Structure 1
Amino acid sequence: MVLGGADLSTILDRILDTAADNLRIAKILLQLGLDPNNVTYDAIFNRLLEIFLANITLANMFALVGAIFFVATLLTQTMVPLRVANMVGCGFFVGFGALAGDVKTFLLYLLLLPINAFRLRQMLNLVKKARAATQGDTSMEWLKPFMTERKYRKGDILFKKDDTAHEMLLTVTGNFLVKEISVELPPGRLMGELGFLTPNNRRTATIECIEDGHVLTITYEKLLEIYFQNPQFGYYFLVLTSQRLLENIARLEAIVAKNQLAQQTAVAGGTN
């Protein structure tokens, strides 16, 4: 055991001595072509300049530009410019590999080019869909294949306020009443979307069927999946919930204004 320990110590000492010898400044200067006994800043600068000029080739220039674009990808915060910079960098490294005869570099970056191009196309399509959602039609026709049909008769209660919510509904035929605020929902209206956003997924109102009809339903699990995958629906859903909240605010303001008017009338009548 002692012998083994001694051998290990000897090996480590030899490794450290070799490493120290290789890292000696004098040896590094000799490798750079400098005289360790006569080192000046001018000599170091001139030698580095000679090395730089000796390595100025078209292949190395391609590699330098490619490296600059790859550094740019580390500083880019958004995906589209990042993919573009990455593709440009890959293109220059492909040129470097071809000019330098480096097959591995050539094949590696040639393979990365179509991968980045495909991801860039996906991102551009995503941006295009999001932009179209902000300017285009917010029809829900495309959502129907993901939904299941359910029929209701007059007097049926679809759900009650504070019930646990698991799904969103789209009216197709018939009429439905939001009992708390006495608002009718004709065909083509969504119901239960606010339960998707409320804490613990609770219903915010009671819905009653006042005319035979049927609806299409979709579970919140499927809705969440589509929400993150489809920017057009994600934007539409935000617009829809914002409109619903603004409608509720306007309705409350109208009620408050009506009550204030009634109070003023009562006060004026009492005064008279």
Structure 2
Amino acid sequence: MNSTSANLSGILDRILNTAADNLRFAKILVQLGLDPNNITYDALFNRLLEILLANITLANMFALVGAVFFVATLLTHTMVPLRVANMVGCTCFAAFGALSGDIKTFLLYLLLLPINGLRLHQMLNLVRKARAATAGDMSMEWLKPFMTTRKYRKGEILFKKDDPAQDMLLTVTGQFLVKEIGVAVPPGRLMGELGFLSPDNRRTATIECTEDGQVLTITYEKLLEIYFQNPQFGYYFLVLTSQRLLENIARLETIVAENKAAERAAAAARTN
């Protein structure tokens, strides 16, 4: 065993001596406090160990922990753990900047903390509201921070059946009408979500504004971004849209049943 270690050490020493003949490598060795003409593996190891021990300070420990959490953000697949890891990393790097007297590092990571905190709060609130929606609360308030405002006047057509679909809408004020089935859409209801799920992204109905109103819109690209950033949100969103689809099916079944009852009544009246 000792013979093997001695051979390995000798091989490494020869490699280092050969490398030391290179001028650039020699400069690095001089900067490390080593003699390029008398370099050994043990001398290099001991010198690096001295440098490591000399730099074990509280500031550098914060920098090391911050680097670990920064790497963790690169390996994280979902958004909530990523934001948490990022906030811990930013805190550590800010502490490093403060302890080492590096004001630029301190201010940079200090400013990143509230940004990550805000995004984390939005994402957690979004997931919580989406989960509440599946339990019976069909409000879409949780999507509002990600949406933009659009206004319509009475008589305007928001979109027609089979039109290309690019965004989803949430009614805020006014009244809207699904023309194909004659169903009114009051404030607080979702429109255009099925186009997000359909393979060809086409509108499934025509919507007309019957009373001046305002809607909030979110593009399908933004929905996809939110979906992939947080798979849990994606799951709850699919459950939510499935519930919407089932409501539409139930509404259509009621209309069909009423029409059949009316036809039977008319047939009975003609017979009598």
Cα distance, 1:236 vs structure 2: 3.6
What code does the residue aligned with 1:129 have?
Answer: K
Alignment pair present for 1:240 and 2:241: no
Query: What residue in structure 1 maps to residue 99 of structure 2?
Result: 99
Cα distance, 1:196 vs structure 2: 4.5
Change (3 A) 1:44 1:245: farther
Q: Extract unaligned runs of 5+ from structure 2.
A: 1-20, 156-160, 227-232, 254-272
| TM norm structure 2 | 0.54
Query: What residue in structure 1 maps to residue 70 of structure 2?
Result: 70
Q: Is the 8 A contact 2:69 2:88 kept in 1?
A: yes
| TM norm structure 1 | 0.54
Which is greater in Rg? 1
Change (3 A) 1:122 1:193: closer
Query: What residue in structure 2 maps to residue 225 of structure 1?
Result: 218
Query: What residue in structure 1 maps to residue 47 of structure 2?
Result: 47
1:157-212 per-position Cα deviation (integer Å, ceiling 9, x unaligned): xxxxx8869999x9x8xxx996xxxxx97998x9x96984765847679xxxxxxx
Q: Is the 8 A contact 1:226 1:233 kept in 2?
A: no
Change (3 A) 1:146 1:65: same
What code does the residue aligned with 1:241 have?
Answer: L
Cα distance, 1:28 vs structure 2: 1.5
Cα distance, 1:117 vs structure 2: 1.0
* Equivalent-residue separation in structure 1 for 2:151 and 2:237 (angstroms): 14
Q: Extract unaligned runs of 5+ from structure 1.
A: 1-20, 152-161, 179-183, 206-213, 250-272
Helix, strand or coil at the partner of 2:130: helix
Q: Is the 8 A contact 2:97 2:104 kept in 1?
A: yes
Cα distance, 1:50 vs structure 2: 0.5
Change (3 A) 1:135 1:28: same
Query: What residue in structure 1 maps to residue 10 of structure 2?
Result: none
Equivalences for 1:89-128 in 2 at 5 Å? 89-128=89-128
Aligned-residue CA RMSD in angstroms?
Answer: 5.2
Identity level (%) = 56
Equivalences for 1:1-272 in 2 at 5 Å? 24-138=24-138, 196=195, 201=202, 225=218, 236-242=240-246, 244=248
What code does the residue aligned with 1:33 have?
Answer: G
What code does the residue aligned with 1:74 have?
Answer: L
Helix, strand or coil at the partner of 1:36: coil
Change (3 A) 1:193 1:216: farther
Q: Is the 8 A contact 2:65 2:92 kept in 1?
A: yes
Cα distance, 1:68 vs structure 2: 0.9
Count the aligned residue pairs.
206
What code does the residue aligned with 2:36 have?
Answer: P
What code does the residue aligned with 2:73 have?
Answer: T
* Equivalent-residue separation in structure 1 for 2:32 and 2:164 (angstroms): 74
Helix, strand or coil at the partner of 1:24: helix
* Equivalent-residue separation in structure 2 for 1:217 and 1:129 (angstroms): 28
Cα distance, 1:130 vs structure 2: 1.5
Query: What residue in structure 2 maps to residue 157 of structure 1?
Result: none
Q: Is the 8 A contact 1:195 1:204 kept in 2?
A: no
1:114-156 per-position Cα deviation (integer Å, ceiling 9, x unaligned): 111111111111112211222123369999x9897979xxxxx
* Equivalent-residue separation in structure 2 for 1:127 and 1:194 (angstroms): 18
* Equivalent-residue separation in structure 1 for 2:113 and 2:210 (angstroms): 48
Change (3 A) 1:226 1:148: same
Q: Is the 8 A contact 1:94 1:105 kept in 2?
A: yes
Change (3 A) 1:117 1:23: farther
* Equivalent-residue separation in structure 1 for 2:105 and 2:201 (angstroms): 54
